[in-house]
Structure 1
Amino acid sequence: MPQLNPAPWLFIFLLSWVVLLLIFKTKVTLLSPMNNPSMPAPLMHQTAPWNWPWA
């Protein structure tokens, strides 16, 4: 019975995981951040602080 021999199925299982990991690795490395995280964002719209009447 060929199902009892785990050698080819183990290789197929490992090879499929390697292929999936390579695909995900290439997709993740192609991503770029939307903004530069090392530079703080400029404060363009500064609003006045709220004055609460009961404070």
Structure 2
Amino acid sequence: MPQLNPYPWLKIMVYTWMLFMIILPPKVISFLYSKDPITKKSKEPKGPPWSWPWH
């Protein structure tokens, strides 16, 4: 059964993990956003608060 032969799959797995753990993280960390996120100001409530009859 060729699936049990670890030779080709071990090599593919090692190269894939090298890609994910060594090459990609610096590229992702160095990514700069084109626009800085802006915090939204909280809006004032419109009108008076409700008066609850059971309070």
Give the TM-score range, shorter chain.
0.3 to 0.5
TM-score (norm 2): 0.44
TM-score (norm 1): 0.44
